[in-house]
Amino acid sequence: MRAPAISDLRHRPNRGFHLKRKSNMCFGWGVNQRPFPLDLVQTQTAWSATYRALAAVGPGAGTTVLRRRLLRLSTRLWWHPYWTTAEAGPAARADLREHARGGSGREAGAA
């Protein structure tokens, strides 16, 4: 799965997220509008896709490349400069994962 392009991140009412075109930030929609840098959202999306791919293959099926990619993406996510800003509160990492999934994570889990 590829990381979303800017054209893919337009406002989607059912998903609740959009890309603010005048900046390089993605914003959540609703009460908790939290800005995320576009590269951070793309890295989280790539991490999720790699994790799903790794979970889909069986043991011993040549998972080395996927495990190395997951480790590299995890490092990028953990050490991204965004986490040193005031906006990066305790719930920001969970919000980023939900944002990268398209905003349907908490609602789908509650149903």
- Asked, for residue 38, whether it belongs to a domain, the answer is yes
Is residue 29 over pLDDT 90?
A: no
Residue with token string 């906006």: 87
Is residue 105 over pLDDT 90?
A: no
Mean pLDDT for the stretch of residues 10-29: 47
| Torsion angle, alpha carbons of 69, 71, 76, 78, to 10 | 150
Quote the number of domains for the chain.
1
Quickly state the pLDDT bin for 26 (edges 50, 70, 90): low
- Asked, for residue 47, whether it belongs to a domain, the answer is yes
Tens of pLDDT, residues 39-96: 999 999 999 999 999 999 977 778 999 999 999 999 999 999 999 988 888 789 999 9
- Asked, for residue 64, whether it belongs to a domain, the answer is yes
Domain of residue 68, residue span: 6-110
Tell me if the pTM is above 0.95: no
- Asked, for residue 1, whether it belongs to a domain, the answer is no
Mean pLDDT for the stretch of residues 26-49: 79
- How much of the chain is helix, strand and coil, in % rounded to 5? 50, 10, 40
